[in-house]
Structure 1
Amino acid sequence: MTVPQTAAPRRFRAIAVQPKWSAENFISDDAFRGWLRGQLEAARPHLSPNRPNLVVLTELNGLPLVLRGAGWALPLKTFERVALALFLARLPRALPVLLREKVSPIRALQLAGSADNTRLYLHTCRDLAREYGVYLCCGSAPMPRYRMVGGQPVRGAATLTNQTVLLAPDGTLIGVTDKVHLTPDEEAGGVDLTPGELSEMRVFPTPVGDLGVAISLDAFRADVIGRLEAGGCTVLLQPDANGAAWTSKEGLPPDPARLRDQPVAWLESSWTATTTGRSIRYAVNPMVVGNLLDLSFDGQSAITGRAADATKLRSYVMTDPRPGFLALTPWVADGPHAELQMVGQQLAAHSGHPREDAYRTDVLHADLELPASTLAPPPRTPHEQALEIILKQVGQPRRIPSASVWVLAGLGLIAAVSALRRRH
């Protein structure tokens, strides 16, 4: 689409939603639609009636759609066991992908269901953007890269990136961004995603800012922030899913030995980008919370700006108050570091503590202003052209059958192990 531009200053409202998820939110189409709709409904009281609204959702909120149709597997309790059970149960669809495209079982499992899950994800977000009349950063989801063949979108072989999709209030596509820097849990030892290309990152001018997306770890990386700054980004979007206790230690590449408290590390992302950047004026960083099987997610969502725009002193727990936070979700507790670290452990999956899974949800908003944009919308990529077609499609995803093929489990396990051995 062509996003309308005016010479007048852009006044808009940014909204960050911090939701809580659980595996049950993803076992059916209706459960997923209801969970995502609940986030827009929570945002409704915060929507401005007289200026455009930008709603930003969280990272990997489409990843658990691999559980769609698999409520029977949840008693297995860990993501690793559930993934193996799903691969075996969905062997007729997953095994050909594994063998033909020479990918791992976990990527084959995701690619085998990607057509239906991508359509469900995109159509749900499209419908919500239209219904609530908002500019929507859908969060992010593992999705293939598509291209047009004979007038129809066709999935590219083997590729599965962590993608953010931006939609206009009429549900049409603004643009897509892939995550470039993957965490270890997203790489081959985890959900096995494909890193995006830095050269493909672009800035999208809209009435709610010149939007640049840096998914989670990308917002910590100088090459990503530098490219978005060079492209004229004024509003940085950082969808996030931090898979660790918020008060634990963090150490990630390129220096995993450099351990520091998670909240201290987070100051190196959006807050730094807005308080020290050149073109980036604001950043919106929503974070999902909750226990997903045996995985725990936690954090504090924030909207940040220049120090002069946000003079009130505040910050994440376990850090000193400072300017730059326009809006910030409180954590579940406050106090000495040792006490907070203990609370983080109590919240975690399978802790058995009364506080288990008692994370805080929230909705943040801030009214922002920017001068008129001088940027031109970037040209469509072949992938974006294909997603435009998917967004225009109607119809329901195919129903995933129950575990009726468990009789093939032994054969599936042998085939998967044999394929892995050939790859290594």
Structure 2
Amino acid sequence: MPDGAPPSTTPRPARLIAVQPKWHARDFISARAFRRWMHAQLHAAQPHLALDRPNLVVLTELNGMPLVLRDAPLAVLSGRFRTAAALLALKHLPVVLTLMVRERVSPIRAVQLARIDANARLYLDTCRDLARTHGVYLACGSTTLPHYQQRDRTLRRHGPGLYNQAILLDPHGQLISATDKVHLTPDEERGGLDLTPGALRDVRVVPTPVGDLGVATSLDAFRADVIEQLEAQGCTVMLQPDANGSPWTAPEGLPPDPTCIRDQPVAWLESAWQVTQRGDSIRYAVNPMCVGNLLDLTFDGQSAITGPAEEAPRARSYVLTPPRPGFLALMPWVRDHADPPTLRRAGQALSARSAHPHENQYRTGVLHADVTLPPSRVSTPPPTPHEVALAAYLRGEATLPTPPATRAARVLWPAALLVATALAARPGRRAALLALTVPLALLALR
């Protein structure tokens, strides 16, 4: 894994860039569609790239997670997350049953793990190509990834975990770091995507010509323990990839105090903006947000680049909040000047299945800000085994497995059909039919 940069003795000029894209389920229906969607984001950022300083482009949270929909047109056409999940489980049922029995994971995690190596390959290859083509430091956003270890020239999953993981690449497409999200939202926990929380000790700062970078994905940027971890290591630029899964002008309440209900823009002031106003080591934060209705899920927000008030004296802020200094760049919302009830109605009109003429009519765009960073006092941390494995893959020194059809998959198809039949059967017969899947699964896994 290449070093981000050695400690420097001179100030570092850099351009920080945040991309606010709109996503749709059809962007993930094939490898070609996904590459086209990702390339369009860097194409939109191209006019914002500086010629006189290095560029850091930051993409959005979970922008690879919907690859679970790849090659599953019925799931895409279903229009509903739960229906899509059921169709995906049926499509990959032999592998899903194998994973559930062998690794003792939930059905929704098994669905995501069923093609994780192929989707990881597509995601990493696409992001590496983007960094190389545009010559930028690329915070790829985040995607669902397991932890890998390298065995000879092949990457193998290490354990059943599945993380919301942010990947950072240099302009040659080589790995700088991989950071797991520590604090998961309820939609990411067992009742939703069933992801694995990362370890706080693994949140690290890496020195680069575009800043001493630390990742605080979404909710992590609101949490004092993550911010303190970054500050203690000398972070100067915090990266906050985001995908806010609800209308932007709706109220929200999240752990650790879900009873603290307030407008989402009010809550957002407690992340990137607040962090960069404290006067500690984190001087700048880049917070790109994805927008758009993905199946029946709503995503909305206002991307921002924040910094010290003296460098951003212009008074402005998110909708539903008073203007203030500290925003180096801020994406306007679809409406700026209206009373709160009107803004809340506008947010509901945009949301999935609103049947309003403005449904899914979100604002997209690109922000940038030129900054000068102080000399670095940070040394490159040693890579984790997972980072060693990813770095080897990105250098072309290792591969991700492409498993052939296995005996387990062939034998499990009868079990899969029994499950499908059982789900449609009368309650009195359902238990007996489901019981028959157990010996079939054990036979397949012998």
Give the alignment's TM-score, normalised by structure 2: 0.90
Q: Partners in 1 of 2:76 and 2:65 — Cα distance?
A: 15
1:244 corresponds to: 246
Conserved? CA contact 2:58–2:140, under 8 Å: yes
* Aligned AA (1:3): G
1:144 corresponds to: 146
Change (3 A) 1:406 1:75: farther
* Aligned AA (2:219): L
Give 1:229-268 correspondences, 5 Å limit: 229-268=231-270
Conserved? CA contact 1:88–1:406, under 8 Å: no
2:426 corresponds to: none
1:346 corresponds to: 349
Conserved? CA contact 1:117–1:397, under 8 Å: no
1:20 corresponds to: 22
Which of 324-333 and 4-13 deviates more? 4-13
* Aligned AA (2:3): T
Conserved? CA contact 1:91–1:412, under 8 Å: no
Give 1:412-423 correspondences, 5 Å limit: 412-413=419-420, 414=422
Give the alignment's TM-score, normalised by structure 1: 0.94
Q: Partners in 2 of 1:299 and 1:17 — Cα distance?
A: 12
Q: Partners in 1 of 2:50 and 2:178 — Cα distance?
A: 25
Q: Does 1:411 align with 2:418?
A: yes
Query: What are the superposed Cα offsets for residues 210-250 of structure 1, whole Å, 9 maximum, x if unpaired?
Result: 00000000000000000000010000000000000000001
Conserved? CA contact 1:204–1:211, under 8 Å: yes
Change (3 A) 1:142 1:396: closer
Q: Partners in 2 of 1:123 and 1:215 — Cα distance?
A: 22
- Shift of residue 9, structure 1, vs aligned partner: 1.1
Q: Does 1:366 align with 2:398?
A: no
Question: What is the aligned-residue RMSD (CA, Å)?
Answer: 2.3
SS at match of 2:141: coil
Give 1:98-247 correspondences, 5 Å limit: 98-247=100-249
Which of 241-250 and 69-78 deviates more? 69-78
- Shift of residue 148, structure 1, vs aligned partner: 2.2
2:4 corresponds to: 3
- Shift of residue 374, structure 1, vs aligned partner: 1.4
Query: What are the superposed Cα offsets for residues 249-275 of structure 1, whole Å, 9 maximum, x if unpaired?
Result: 010011111100000000000000000
- Shift of residue 375, structure 1, vs aligned partner: 1.0
SS at match of 1:308: helix
SS at match of 2:311: coil
Q: Partners in 2 of 1:127 and 1:77 — Cα distance?
A: 31
Query: What are the superposed Cα offsets for residues 182-204 of structure 1, whole Å, 9 maximum, x if unpaired?
Result: 00000000011000000111000
Give the % identical residues: 59
Q: Which residue of the other structure, out of 385, 396, 407, is the alignment partner of 1:382?
A: 385
Q: Partners in 1 of 2:176 and 2:3 — Cα distance?
A: 8
Q: Partners in 1 of 2:88 and 2:413 — Cα distance?
A: 10
Conserved? CA contact 1:88–1:408, under 8 Å: no
SS at match of 1:138: strand
Query: What are the superposed Cα offsets for residues 28-53 of structure 1, whole Å, 9 maximum, x if unpaired?
Result: 00000000000000000000011100
Change (3 A) 1:97 1:406: closer
Conserved? CA contact 1:69–1:399, under 8 Å: no
2:443 corresponds to: none
2:84 corresponds to: 82
Q: Partners in 2 of 1:2 and 1:185 — Cα distance?
A: 35
Conserved? CA contact 1:89–1:406, under 8 Å: no
1:315 corresponds to: 317
Q: Partners in 2 of 1:73 and 1:374 — Cα distance?
A: 49
Q: Does 1:96 align with 2:98?
A: yes
Change (3 A) 1:310 1:342: same
1:54 corresponds to: 56
Conserved? CA contact 2:155–2:400, under 8 Å: no
Which of 149-158 and 334-343 deviates more? 149-158
| 5+ residue gaps, structure 2 | 406-411, 424-429, 439-446
| 5+ residue gaps, structure 1 | none
2:442 corresponds to: none
Give 1:265-344 correspondences, 5 Å limit: 265-334=267-336, 335-344=338-347
- Shift of residue 154, structure 1, vs aligned partner: 1.2
- Shift of residue 397, structure 1, vs aligned partner: 9.4
Q: Which residue of the other structure, out of 355, 359, 378, is the alignment partner of 2:358?
A: 355
SS at match of 2:310: coil
SS at match of 1:75: helix
SS at match of 2:105: coil
- Shift of residue 156, structure 1, vs aligned partner: 1.4
Q: Partners in 2 of 1:85 and 1:411 — Cα distance?
A: 16
- Shift of residue 411, structure 1, vs aligned partner: 2.4
* Aligned AA (2:261): L
Q: Partners in 2 of 1:300 and 1:18 — Cα distance?
A: 8
Conserved? CA contact 1:11–1:368, under 8 Å: yes
- Shift of residue 72, structure 1, vs aligned partner: 2.5
